[in-house]
Every structure is written in C-alpha cells, then in structure tokens.
Structure 1
Amino acid sequence: MLTAFAIAAATATAPILLDARCDEPAWRSAISTDVGSDVALLSMADARYVYLCVTLPPESLGTLDLYIESRDGAQTNLHVSAQTGERTRGPDGWPEWRSFNNYRGWYGPPVAFAGVVRDAGGTRPDFAVSVAREVQIERARFGAGPWRIFVQVQSLGADGSGVASFPVGGDADNARTWREFNF
C-alpha cells in the first residue's frame, strides 16, 4: 500500500529508447509526479528495469542527481550532466567527485555537447538544451524495492539558474526526507 509519502511506477508496456524525450508513445502509461518549476517525474518499470524521465522547462540543460537508498540502507548518488557517474555515501558522508563514467547497472544519456563558444572570456564548451533527462536502472542493482529516492534537477531555464527538488524540502544528506519509491 502506498503512503502519502510514496510514489509508484507504472508497468512499462513498450521498450524505452533513452533519447532524452518523455513525450513518445512508450512513456504514455507512466505515472507522472509534479516536481514543481515546470518539471515532472515520470516513472515506469518492467521485469528488469526501472525507468525515470524528468521533463524540463524550455531552454534547459537539466542536469540530474538521483539519490537512491536501497532496502539495506546503502545510499548511492547517480549523476547525469555532461559527465555521467555515481558515488556511494560512506560513514563520513558523500565523497567528493573524483571520476566520472563509473556507472554500473544504470545509464542516463549525458547532456549533449554542441560545440565550442569563443568570446571575450575565452573558449568554453557549449551544450545542447534538452526537453527531458532519462535514466534506466537495473532493478537488481539496488535490490527489491521499495527504494527511497531524492531527485535534484539543476540548470533549468535559459539562464541555467533554476533548480527543482523532489520531494520539496528533501535533503541529499538526510534519507529520512526522501520519498519511498514502489515498483
């Protein structure tokens, strides 16, 4: 039974293409949860995977941090920006990011590189805006649910300053503030 503080995943009825779009037919049966700031969290699952898609406001890069606490209490941060990676919380908290491209049993397409911008400030990378950010997670990676999750989406809007968190008031350092996720 779902509590007032739980979310659920619908059964995926078609294969999911990880292409940073949640408006495709495969996502129609997803359960949608309003995150605020013109962001929604769509969730589905099948026998092998859990799928999450975060819709983004126009002109967003939409970097994603998904925090998962498995039933055994282990906490992992899955990160998707121009680089994709994960880190596991230890007794002293979240370690600093030391490397990327270290993901196991999950994937989320990174923010797409769009070229290089040269201006008075020098040369810097340019990234493509997106309408959504998707993640596919092997159920076996974090074990049988329910899991507890906290979602943080950054770089929202044309100026990139927008941030949305779910649940609102959640804290990456306090799993008691996260939501139960049933699938």
Structure 2
Amino acid sequence: MYSKVILSIAILAIFISSCQQTKEPTPPMVDGDITDFQQLGVEPIELMQGSNLYLYQNDHFVWLGFDYPEESFGTMDLKLITPTLSDTLNMHISAQIGEWYLSEGSPRPDNPESDLWWNHQGWYANEVWPNGTDRSSENPQPKFKNAKAREIQISKERFGRGKWMMQAEIRAIRTGSGFTGTSFPKNGWYELTVF
C-alpha cells in the first residue's frame, strides 16, 4: 500500500514537472497566412506601403514571409548565399517554384512547361494557386487565386548555419495605378546570422 502511494506521488510529480516545462513556440506554417509571425512577436520590416517582411528561425528552419495589399500576387526571386552553397542560388516563387544557380550556363527553366520547375530542395513556399480556367473568351486562360501573404521555409540542414546573405526581388504588388515591385534590402545584401 505504502509503495503504491509513493509511486502515485512520483507519477504526479513527473506529470506536474512536464506541464511546467517551457514549450518551444509553434513555428509558422507555410499557408499564406502571416498571422503566425505576428503571434510569435516577430517585428515587421516595412518593404513598402501595405507590405511588411517577417523573418523567424528555430533550430531547424528559417522562415521568411511578407504580406501585401489585396489583389497582389507577391511573386519573388530570393537570391541566397550561405556557407554550404557553391554559388548564389535563386529561389523563384510565382505560380511555379524552382531554383537555379546564377552562374552563367547554369540550367534554368526558360518556359512554363520546362521540366526544370519544381526542383526545389530543402525549402518550400506557397505558390500562386491555380484556380481553374477563364472561359469567357475564345482563348481560355488559366485563373489564379492568391493567399494573403507569401511565405518560404528554408532548411538549415541544406543551407548551413552562420552568415546568410539574402536579396529579394518582390513583384506584382497592387497599387492604385496597377502593379509595382520592390526589393529587400533596397541596396546591397541583407545579412542574417543563422544559429
């Protein structure tokens, strides 16, 4: 009887102890909803009016996300230099995703039908979603639907730790007079220390 009481107390103590441990915050999900970054308390970096950039990392991944005004597409080319890359890598995110090195002669897709799309390794982003076909004219055209934000998750296992240099070209941001783009940073490269 006495040993059962001791065992019950020990199990209760372990349970209480495990409940009191600090949990790691839930990282962002690449779903086109930037509120994950906001809930984590990530400070926004203004890209332009109506568009903010968010950066977050944990032990395994780096996340980058940006929001934009309604009716924007927010396509992006993210250039990345890291300790494990032999050259500057371009990560392209639009209605298709792909990566290629920027050195001359490196293979890259030259049309929408290329087999070189969807070759991303160690990263993923929410692309501009296909959403049926517009059949209102004699030449049907693909329709697209977009999320409220563009997000990308990048693996530290592939890209390493230490100093990462980034440069982003962001396009198709809706303004009152049409579409525009912006870059981050405005000049040069953004240095991110990846732990």
Q: Shorter-chain TM-score category?
A: 0.7 to 0.9
- Cα gap change, 1:106 to 1:160, in 2 (>3 Å): farther
- 1:165 corresponds in structure 2 to 183
What residue ranges of structure 2 are gaps of 5+ in the alignment?
1-23
- 1:35 corresponds in structure 2 to 47
Query: Match of 1:141, SS?
Result: helix
- Cα gap change, 1:27 to 1:107, in 2 (>3 Å): farther
- Cα gap change, 1:146 to 1:109, in 2 (>3 Å): same
1:68-87 equivalent positions in 2, closer than 5 A: 68-71=80-83, 74-87=87-100
How many equivalent residue pairs? 164
Distance 2:37 2:154 in 1: 20
- 1:109 corresponds in structure 2 to 126
TM-score, with length taken from structure 1: 0.79
- 1:14 corresponds in structure 2 to 26
What residue ranges of structure 1 are gaps of 5+ in the alignment?
1-11, 170-176
Q: Aligned partner of 1:181: which letter? A: L
Identify the match of residue 76 of structure 2 among 64, 83, 93. 64
Distance 1:31 1:68 in 2: 22
- 1:130 corresponds in structure 2 to 147
Query: Match of 1:59, SS?
Result: coil
Q: Aligned partner of 1:58: which letter? A: E
Distance 2:120 2:192 in 1: 21
Question: Identity percentage over the alignment?
Answer: 28
Larger radius of gyration: 2
Tell me by how many angstroms 1:95 deviates.
5.2
Distance 1:65 1:75 in 2: 12
Q: Aligned partner of 1:149: which letter? A: M
1:180 aligns with 2:184: no
Query: Match of 2:70, SS?
Result: strand
TM-score, with length taken from structure 2: 0.75
